[in-house]
Structures are given as structure tokens and as C-alpha cells.
Amino acid sequence: MFKIFNWNSGIVEKTRMKNRIMTGSEAVMQSLLDEQIDTVFGYPGGGIMPIYDALFDYQNKINHILTRHEQGLIHAAQGYARVSGKVGVCFATAGPGATNLITGIADAMMDSTPLVCIIGQVASPLLGTDAFQEADVVGMTIPCTKWNYQITSGNKIPEILSKAFFIANSGRPGPVVISITKNAQLEKISYNYLKTSFLKSYKSKTYPEYKRIQEVATLINQAKKPFLVFGQGIILSGAELLLKQFIEKTGIPAASTLLGLSALSSDHPNYVGMLGMHGNYAPNLMTNKCDVLIGIGLRFDDRVTGDASRYAKQAKIIHIDIDNAEINKIVKVDIPVLGDASEVLEALIPLVKSGSYKLWMKEFKDRFSDEYSQVIEKDLYPKDDKPNMGVVIRMLNELTNNETILVTDVGQHQMIASRYFNFKNTRSLVTSGGLGTMGFCLPAAMGAKLGQPTKTVVAIIGDGGFQMTLQELGTISQYNISVKIIIMNNSFLGMVRQWQEMFFESRYSFTDMESPDFVKLADAYIIPASRVTEKSKLMQAIKKMLEHNGPSLLEVIVEKEDNVFPMIPPGASVDEIILKLQSNKNV
Amino acid sequence: MKNYIITTYAENNIGILNRILNIFSKRMVNVESLTVVETEENGLSKITIVITSTEDLVSNIVKQINKQIGIIKTAFDSNTEVFYQKISLYRMITKSLNFHEETIPAFNTNSMQ
């Protein structure tokens, strides 16, 4: 064993192996093995056939999941990466295969999910000639990748893949696209894999300034009404325990963004709820009441800030983030700290004084009771016998002991599920937050189950989103991936309908949707399914579905025109959050 | 709105210019001038971009450029902070290659201004 650091290439050689002669495609397989990748999501085609031919010999080492559409495979890889923390690997072919991946790549970019997409490409002499199934994949994916590269010579494969895995899963994670031309896949090369841990033009690590951290500590120690908001950065940096220690020592109330959910257990006494457009009442209101706002690992997305020009203007804002481009992007901050959440928290904890903010916490609790009496009670314990989305989530909480991984699609059910699900373990929510991709849930749930095979994975989907990627039932059935699918069917594109009701004078323009018989559909895929229309039978049905060994589907017919509240109307400030439909529609 | 000059040092890879310019189009900022030159260091290019924008926007853009993989360093200056140096090249017809003042009579200090 040697350890050699090469300053020119920035590559640390871990072991010096004898170079082996193999094809470029085999080199792809070997590189995956050298990166300890055991699961790949893919769909073959002309441009990637040599790689699939090499995969044929590696079937016992690499578990390849054949989906039914490229969008399905990339969302599955996202789900896999999100729950496991490993890099999700995708194979797709040139042209349409690659363009079908783009939604997922953009989604992964927004939600900082580490992916490496290996995409076939026409042979390099044909590049730029509009050859059959040629698409300028590198050009197309520039805006939505952390890095991308086109390999035209087989020799480059180990080096570029090593770089790809390093870039995808370090710093702020993100998707990397590697396009490999067909001639490079076929070329004979001499294989030697060197793991990358440093690149000259990429800062994977930040070194937070101690002075800044001291300033932060001083500000926090002087605060009368401090408020902590955190995002997915906590999960990505593995800082869940440190966050818990920090808030327990300081007694500061903490709220999460949509993607930060599950970083802190939902029943923690200092946890005050979710931020954002459909977040909880108290944390949104208190953002504009606190005197120090501490943001860790979040990017102050517009759904969190509402009108950014009226966001926490009274407060001194501290922003701790690993990505320099996020600092001062939307919210002007007083103390920016560039650094990994866990490093900063580790340095910060000894500097802050322990305390509690009883009166300040009580303000949160009072607002929570307002929300409870006006919204939550009606959502979770409705009087009529028609099931609604809140009830389904409440029953899931009761039946699963919160050990499940929740995967949601996008829309009303997503908001209800993230509001009411009790998160206990980290990485137990997979949802498309930034891009808001409908059709994300079913394939992502499949990937999540493969990433955490011992956990129960529940997919909560609307009738609209389900029909966008329902072809993946085929994959679920073929590999017997034990995903528990709950379709909340309100025969509407619910969230859009809610907006039409509130902001477009109830002109329901193309939001009512007829669906097929989902039970029969599942039956065609040999997945046991049932339908519930009465609340009294719901508990039993969910229980039966969860207990079934293997995938199962439950369709719940929910109230058609329910609205999700609280809500920060678009363009409003966080403290203008409303708890019910207002008679004046021009909110 | 002011004129800003963004200078960035980038690895001379295919597509990197595309990556940089994308950030401008994403933010709907018009690039007024663009030059790419090789630097003395092998494989590094110096890219100079002039835009009209606000300080907040240009600093955000610079951070986003810096974030791209392949970028070594990016900085920006407002127009007033930069000294200009102009170099002009003149091409003149001479009868011989003997560069003597007499052979190029039109050459005088006035024409340099």
C-alpha cells in the first residue's frame, strides 16, 4: 500500500495496482466497483450497448434495476441517494434516453442530491452531425448539473468517473453527467483507478473562520428572542446530533424547511414546526418577531421567505452554509459563515451559553394552539365520515410507530403529509422540494426501498402525480420491491384547484381529472390493491396494506375540494400567513 | 446600474465558457463584451466580461461563476476602479525591412495619440 499525492492531477493514489487491459465499458464497471457502488438504475439503448454488454458479466456484483422510463430510473436513483447518503448511479442511452433524464437531473440539482448519470453517446466521429439518437447532452445539462463531461477516449474513463463520484458527493452534493461516446466504450484501455480527493479548481471543503463563529456565539448569547431555522444541510453534513445538542444547550426554538424535515425528531420539545408557504403558523409568524435568526444549511427559498423584502427585517440574521453562492442571494445576512454545518456547530456549541427562553417558547405554543383549533383539529379529526388526507397521515403515524420512510409526490398531499407525519429518524422523508416534480414519488419510493431495504417505505401520491409515472408499477412488480403506495384521490389537481379557488375566482380551468380504476390497474401488475371510501374502514385498510409482505396499493377517496392551510399567499410576507379562506379573495 | 468588469481564470476545457455564460442568461443579464485569452500558465484561460448591472447582482453572479468546477478564481471591479491601457497596432507599408525613422517618414509621435 502506497499513498502518493500527485499535486498536478490532485489525485491521491491509495493502492498501486497492476494495470489491467480491458474495454472502456469494463472500465466503467470496475470503476463502479472501486467506488463501492452496488446498485444501478438504468435503461439500455443503442448508444450504451457496450456498457450493458459489460454489465452482463457483472450481474452478481452490481444490482441493475431496469425501470420502465428514464424519468423513473433517475427519480429512483434520487430516492436511493436521499435515504442512503450514497451516490445514485444511472445508466441511460444517447438522445431520447438522455433528454428523458433531464427532469430528474434538474430536480437533483435543486435538492442537492448526489447522482452520477452515465449516458451513452454516438461515436465521436459522428458528434455534431445530427447522427441517429444524437443529442448534445453536455450542452443541455450545463444549467442543471454540478459538473458534466463528455468522454471521447476510453483512457479517460477511470479518471473522469473518479472525479465524477468525488464531485457528486462532496461539498454541496449534486448531479454529475458523464457522456461516453460509443467508440470510447469499445476501446481497449489499461485500467488503473485512482480515487480523487482533491481538485485544483473545486473547493470541496470550507474552513470556517473561528472569528466569525465567535461573533455568532456572542450574538446568540445576547439574544432575547433567538430563532433557529434549518434545512437539508443538516442531513447532508450529518449534523443531526450536533443540532440537537445545540438547541438543547441553548434552548432556542427550531423550525425546519421542507427538506430539513426528519433532521430533528418531530416530537422534540424545541421543535416548533415547518417553515414555508404551507408550513406551521408559529414559525412563520415568529420569523418576523425574533431578534436573532440563525439559518443553518438552508437556502432561503422563496417558498420559505415569502416576500423577501419583508423577511425578518427586525432580526440580525446569521447564515451558516457550505455554498458561498447561497449567502446573500435572497436574504441579506449580518453574519455569514461559510462552512459545513457539522463543523460550524461543533465549534459553536462550546461557545454558546446554556439557557432557556420560556416566555419566547410560550409565544410559539400560543400560536400553535391557534393553528390547532382552527386547522389541525379539523384536518386530523374531522367530524364527517369521509376520509381526508390528514386522517390518513394520522393513522399512518399511529400504525407505524414512525419508523417508516415517507415518500411524497407534489401538491396538497405533500404538504399535508409533511405537516402531520411524525418524523423520528433522519433521512425519513423523500420529497421533491425545489423543483416540485409531479410523478417523482412512485419511482423515488422504489429507490428508497432499495436504499434502505429494512425500512417500510410508504409512498403518498395524488391521483394526478401517480398517473405521470405509473408505468413504474411494472418495475415494482418485476423486482417485487416492497413499496406501500397510498393514492389520495380527490379527482382534482388539488393544489392548482386550491389556487384557482383562492386567486382565480374559482375558475377551475382543466384541473378536474378522471382516473382509471387504480385497483384494477394494480391488479394488472399483480400488486394487491384496495379502495377505501369510508373513514371507519380506513384504519383496517392501511393496517392490511402495511402488513402485506411485498408491494401493495391503497386508493383513498378523499374530500374533493379540501384546502391546505395555513398558507402564505404568494407575494405576501411570512407574517401575513392565513389560517382559513378569507372572504376577500384579493389576499 | 453601473458597468462592471468580471475577470475569471478558468481551466481551458470544452464547455466551460458555456457554463459561465449560462449564468448570465439565467439571470437575464446582457454580456456587453467578452474576451478569452490564454494565460502564461498552461491550460488556464483568462476570461474578461463586461456587463451593466447592480453591485448585488454582479456579486451574486461572481459567486455563481466561482462555484463552477473548472474555475480557479473570479473577481469583479466597477468601471471606475479600473485603469485602462490601450495598445494600438499600426500596419505601414515600407520599402525595406530596415526600421529606420527615415524609411517610415509618416511615423511621428503625434500619430500615436
Calculate how close chain B gets to A329, using CA atoms only, in Å. Answer: 6
- Residue B6: phi and psi, rounded to 5, are -105, 130
Question: What's the rounded Cα separation, in Å, for the pair A157 and A31?
Answer: 8
Q: Where are the beta strands (DSSP E) in A329-456?
A: 335-338, 405-408, 429-430
- Is B11 in CB contact (< 8 Å) with chain A? yes
Instruction: With a cut of 80, say whether residue A345 has pLDDT above it.
Output: yes
Assign A345 to helix, strand or coil.
helix
Q: Check residue B111 and give its pLDDT.
A: 46
Catalytic, out of A182, A225, A244, A484: A182
Q: Which pLDDT score, from 0 to 100, does residue A177 have?
A: 98
What's the pLDDT score for residue A1? Answer: 40
Q: Which residues, in sequence order, are bridge partners of residue A116?
A: A89, A176
A391, A486 contact by CB (below 8 A): no
- Residue A485 bridge partners (DSSP): A459, A553
Contacts of A313 (CB under 8 A, 6+ apart): A288
**H or E segment to which residue B67 belongs:** helix B55-67
Q: Please, what is the average pLDDT of chain A?
A: 94
Note the pLDDT of residue A2.
Answer: 45
Q: Where are the domains of chain A?
A: 4-191, 210-363, 387-558
Rounded Cα–Cα distance for residues A302 and A434 (Å): 10
Per-residue pLDDT, averaged over A300-323, amounts to 95
A111 band by pLDDT with thresholds 50, 70 and 90? very high
Q: Is residue B107 part of a domain?
A: no
Does residue B86 form part of some domain? no
> Rounded to an integer, what distance in angstroms lies between the CA atom of residue A283 and that of residue A300?
14
A566 vs A584: CA distance, rounded Å: 16
**Range name among A19-23, A173-177, A241-245, A298-302 with the lowest pLDDT average:** A19-23
Contacts of B14 in chain A (CB under 8 A): 150
Residue B24 covered by a domain: yes
pLDDT bucket at A517, cuts 50 / 70 / 90: very high
Cα A188–chain centre separation: 39
* CATH 3.30.470.20 is right for the domain spanning A210-363: no
> Which residues lie below 8 Å from residue B95, measured CB to CB, with a gap of 6+?
B103
Q: Which of A13, A14, A86, A133 is catalytic?
A: A133
- With a cut of 90, say whether residue A512 has pLDDT above it: yes
Higher per-residue confidence, B88 vs A469: A469
State mean pLDDT over A162-166: 97
Distance CA A496, CA A475 (A): 30
B11 to A324: CB separation less than 8 angstroms, yes or no: no
| pLDDT attached to residue A3 | 52
Alpha carbon distance A296, A229 (integer Å): 6
DSSP A460-499: EEEHHHHTTSGGGHHHHHHHT--EEEEEEE-SB-HHHHHH
Q: What is the pLDDT, as a whole number, of residue A520? A: 97
Determine the pLDDT at residue A6.
54
Interface of A with B (CB under 8 A): 138-139, 142-143, 146-148, 150, 167, 199-202, 323-325, 327-329
In this structure, chain A runs to a length of 587
Instruction: Name the catalytic one among A132, A353, A377, A582.
Output: A132
Torsion sign across C-alpha atoms A292, A293, A297, A300: negative
Q: What is the pLDDT of residue B107?
A: 52
- What backbone phi and psi angles, to 5 degrees, belong to A66? -90, 115
- Annotation marks residue A495 as catalytic: yes
Q: Helical H runs in A21-69?
A: 24-34, 49-56
Chain B residues with CB inside 8 Å of A328's CB?
A: 56, 59-60
CATH number for position B14: 3.30.70.260
The verdict on whether A215 is a catalytic residue reads no
A70 has catalytic annotation: yes
B12 touches chain A (CB under 8 A): no
CATH class of A4-191: alpha beta
- Residue A251, Ramachandran bin (φ over 0: left; ψ between -120 and 50: alpha; else beta): left
Residue A16 has pLDDT above 60, yes or no: no
Chain A environment of B71 (Cβ under 8 Å): 201
CATH 3.40.640.10 fits A387-558, yes or no: no
| Residue A545 pLDDT > 60 | yes
Residues A58-78: tens digit of each pLDDT: 999 999 999 999 999 999 999
At B112 the pLDDT is 45
Decide if B93 is inside a domain.
Answer: no
Chain A neighbors of B59, CB-CB under 8 A: 328
> Is pLDDT above 60 for A498?
yes
* pLDDT tens, N- to C-terminus, chain B (113 residues): 889 999 999 999 889 999 999 999 999 999 999 999 998 888 899 999 999 999 999 999 999 999 999 999 999 998 777 777 777 777 777 666 666 555 555 555 454 44
Which ipTM was obtained for this model?
0.87
SS3 state at B33? strand
Mean per-residue pLDDT for A436-456?
A: 97
The torsion of the CA quartet A376, A377, A379, A385, rounded to 10 degrees, works out to 180
- Cβ contact, residue pair A329, B60, below 8 Å: yes
| Phi, psi dihedrals of residue B23, rounded to the nearest 5° | -65, -35
Q: Taking a C-beta distance cutoff of 8 angstroms, is the pair A314, A223 a contact?
A: no
Rounded CA separation A445/A438 (Å): 13
Burial class (CB in 10 A: 0-12, 13-18, 19+), A577: buried
Q: How far apart are CA A380 and CA B87, in angstroms?
A: 75
User: Among all residues of chain A, which has the CA nearest to that of B19?
Assistant: A142
DSSP state of A143: G
CA distances from A93 to A69, A88, A135, B52, B61 (A): 11, 17, 10, 42, 34
B61 and chain A: CB distance < 8 Å anywhere? no
Query: Does A325 contact B67 at a Cβ distance shorter than 8 Å?
Result: yes
What residues make up the domain containing B11? Answer: 2-81
Residue A205 has a pLDDT of: 85
Is the pLDDT score of A446 beyond 50? Answer: yes
The rounded distance, in Å, linking the Cα atoms of A423 and A256 is: 12
Single out the residue of A459, A477, A467, A471 nearest to residue A554, CA to CA. A459
C-alpha cell read off for A207: 474552513
pLDDT given at position B81: 73
> How far out from the chain centre does Cα A61 lie?
27
What residues in A contact B70, CB-CB < 8 Å?
201-202
Angle, helix A341-348 to helix A240-250, in steps of 10 degrees: 30
What's the mean pLDDT in A472-493? 96
Answer yes or no: are the C-beta atoms of A93 and A43 closer than 8 Å: yes
- Any domain includes B88: no
Q: Does the CB of B66 have a partner CB in chain A at under 8 Å?
A: yes
Residue A9 has pLDDT above 80, yes or no: no
pLDDT at A587 over 50: no
Report the DSSP beta bridge partners of residue A150: A179
B92 is a domain residue = no
CB-CB neighbors (< 8 A) of A148 in chain B: 15
Query: What residues contact B71, with CB distance under 8 A and at least 6 apart?
Result: A201, B8, B9, B10, B11, B16, B20, B65
Q: Say what the pLDDT of residue A222 is.
A: 95
What is residue B7's three-state secondary structure?
A: strand
Is the model's pLDDT at A423 over the cut of 80? yes
